[in-house]
Amino acid sequence: MEAEPTIVLFDGRCGLCTRSVQFILKRDHRARFRFAPLESAAAAHACARIGAPTPQAVEPDSIIVITDGRALERSDAALAIAARLPFPWPIFAVFRVVPRGLRDWAYGIVARNRYRWFGRHDACMIPSPEQRARFLE
């Protein structure tokens, strides 16, 4: 039986988030990940399906990863993504030993500055025809 795909909910207007999705797509040769912008109905549906708060109810600067029937946010989400990518990215799991508060503090610095450092788009990214099947919406 094939495992459920890991769903990544991201800020569709964030340059860093869009680049991160492209990074994952390039390395996810087994198509384990699916994607949806936080702002989308597909994201709200994915959260509702597992009983998690809707993306609009969490901090807008947080990435959400839905895996194994639960929703992970912030640094936990980023580490879950790394763990599911091919070598060498799972090595980043070593950062789980760092207390979540400290990890999330560092995550927050990047999240608060992401538009200034990486840009902001007027619209969500449009996936290529090859990538379209990997997006929930």
Confidence bin at 125 (pLDDT 50/70/90): low
Residue 94 belongs to some domain of the structure: yes
* Mean of pLDDT values over 49-62: 72
Poorest-pLDDT segment among 1-10, 25-34, 100-109: 1-10
- Structure confidence at residue 56 (pLDDT): 64
CA-wise closest residue to 71 among 101, 36, 98:
36
pLDDT at 124: 66
pTM, 2 dp:
0.86
Look at residue 32 and tell me if it is in a domain.
yes
Tell me if 38 is assigned to some domain. yes
Tell whether 1 is covered by a domain: no
- Is residue 137 in a domain? no
Q: What is the pLDDT of residues 96-124, one digit of tens each?
A: 999 999 999 999 999 888 878 877 777 66
pLDDT for the residue 123: 63
Q: How many domains does the chain have?
A: 1
Q: How many contiguous H segments (helices) and E segments (strands) does the chain have?
A: 4, 4
Domain that holds residue 22: 6-132
Rounded Cα distance between 77 and 58, Å, is 13
Please give the residue that has the higher pLDDT: either 129 or 8: 8
Highest mean pLDDT: which range of 10-19, 33-42, 126-135: 33-42
For the four alpha carbons of 115, 116, 117 and 123, in that order, the dihedral sign comes to positive
**Is residue 59 scored above 70 in pLDDT?**
no
Q: Which of 10-19, 44-53, 101-110 has the highest mean pLDDT?
A: 101-110
Which pLDDT score is estimated for 1? 37
State residue 3's pLDDT score: 72
Residue 80 lies in a domain: yes
